[in-house]
Amino acid sequence: SAHTEKKEEDKPAETNEKKDTYTQSEKDLLSRLVHAEAKGESYKGKVAVASVVLNRTEKKGFPDTIRGVIYQKNAFEPVSNGSINQEPDQESIAAAEEALSSKNRETDAIFFYNPKTASDDWIRSRKIVERIGRHVFAI
């Protein structure tokens, strides 16, 4: 059938080996998390939030998939409050795509939080590596 062969334009760019390892479902989920966590933040801040999720997939002690990281118990507030289910805006989709396709991550952090709203003392004990907008990124 015509659907068994991939059309040339459907193939990912050759410069990006990573991209074909992520499903559309993972891209959508990451975009929704970025939207829920970084609404009102800069584009750079949104890419950094997506980068934290991807950094965790490569780190011991965290699940090795985007879905596993995002749905890890108590990892992200949008999962518990339901805002993960909102449709992402175009900027959040673009930020997630950039993080997924970039060879260099926006940040090396594996945690982020808003110091004005974070109530967990443990997260405040993490070493801060940078601040982007209202978020602090830490390791």
- The predicted structure's pLDDT at residue 21: 77
Read off the pLDDT of residues 71-106 as tens digits, 9 standing for 90 and up.
999 999 999 999 999 999 999 999 999 999 998 899
pLDDT confidence band for 3 (50 / 70 / 90): very low
If one looks up domain 23-106 in CATH, what number appears?
A: 1.10.10.2520
Q: Is the pLDDT of residue 20 over 50?
A: no
pTM: predicted TM-score of the whole model, two decimal places: 0.84
Long-range contacts of 69-77 (CB under 8 A, 24+ apart): 70/29, 70/30, 70/33, 76/33, 76/36, 76/37, 77/37
What mean pLDDT is predicted for residues 44-55?
98
